Amino acid sequence: MSKLAQKVVLVTGGSRGIGAAITKRLAADGASVAFTYAKDASAASAVVKAIELNGGKAIAIQADATDVEAVEAAIEKTFATFGRLDVLVNNAGTAIPKPFEDTTLEEMDRVIDINIRGVFAATKAALKRLSDGGRIIMIGSAVGERAIAPGLVPYAATKAAVRMFTQALSRELGSRGITVNNVQPGPIDTDLNPASGDWAVPQKAATALGRYGRPEEIAAMVAFIASPEASYITGANLTVDGGMNA
């Protein structure tokens, strides 16, 4: 039997990149999956179709991570559609790479609103529906633990906040058997950070393996943390970065 059979998952920002890989992997492991997307309905539809072609169940829900009411509605729609909620994956995030001195307050606010406030809001709303013994999984970043390059100051600071949020929340939810963990990717080949991009050479050089990771490699870690085998792992920051922070 599939490891996540009868489980229901909500992934924020699940229409592309790491989020799409997570959505597809959890569906392949047997979960019914709902995911949010901000704008690109065609990309979201493609993810749903890919899952359904493989015999899985998925729904896409438009909800910008900065819109608290929309995120709350997405959680309620997930619960109404599938009858329960077992796993929340806080994947939605953004970065605006540039020197800190040149970063505007508006740009800082956007990074904070998506990467911290959005995570807080989604998690708080999900706790009203999350089953005891469930899972909350953050998608943080290796730069939330160690800043290896300039140009990511607000992003790194928000991901460090996610790391501490994970640890603190795990203390509050342990009595319900809910685990809270933070997966911290290193450089991953996505549209936002392509392995062929201008920033790729120093990032590859910073890893022990000398390459970018694939979204599926992050999804594999998320799938493990969501599974029954990870029931004694909580409050952990699990870095998947090809040795970048070694």
Catalytic residue annotation: 155
Q: How many residues in the chain? A: 246
Query: Are residues 170 and 230 in contact, defined by beta-carbon separation less than 8 angstroms?
Result: no
Task: For strands 8-11 and 179-185, give the pairing.
Answer: unpaired
Distance from C-alpha of 131 to C-alpha of 139, rounded to nearest angstrom: 21
Residue 30 in 3-state DSSP?
coil
Beta-bridge mates of residue 36: 61
Query: What residue has token string 């970043």?
Result: 141
List Cα–Cα distances, 42 to 2, 3, 229, in angstroms: 29, 29, 35
Show the tokens assigned to 100: 């800190």
